[in-house]
């Protein structure tokens, strides 16, 4: 009898793809973009404006 393969759930398959070494640059780029958008959307982005 052959060993039975268990199917992975959606979350575990997604986590495996995200943590895959070949996808690190893509995941890092998406995270940096998200941090940039969050910073520019926050009140801290007013620090970038020159004083009047």
Residue 36 lies in a domain: yes
Residue 3 lies in a domain: no
The CA dihedral of 18, 21, 22, 28, to the nearest 10 degrees, is: 60
Q: What is the pTM of this model?
A: 0.65
| Residues 41, 8: Cα–Cα separation, whole Å | 37
Structurally, the chain folds into a number of domains equal to 1
The tens-digit pLDDT sequence of the chain (52 residues) is: 556 656 779 999 999 999 999 999 999 999 999 999 999 999 989 988 888 8
* Full residue range of the structural domain in which residue 25 is found: 10-48
| Residues 48, 44: Cα–Cα separation, whole Å | 8
What burial class does residue 50 get, using C-beta atoms within 10 Å of its C-beta: 0-12 exposed, 13-18 middle, 19+ buried? exposed
Residue 1 lies in a domain: no
Residue 4 lies in a domain: no
Residue 34 lies in a domain: yes
């Amino acid at each position: 009898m052959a060993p039975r393969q268990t199917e992975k759930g959606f979350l575990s398959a997604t986590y495996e793809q995200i943590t895959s070494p070949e996808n690190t640059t893509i995941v890092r780029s998406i995270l940096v973009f998200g941090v940039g958008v969050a910073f520019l959307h926050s009140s801290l982005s007013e620090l970038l404006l020159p004083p009047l």
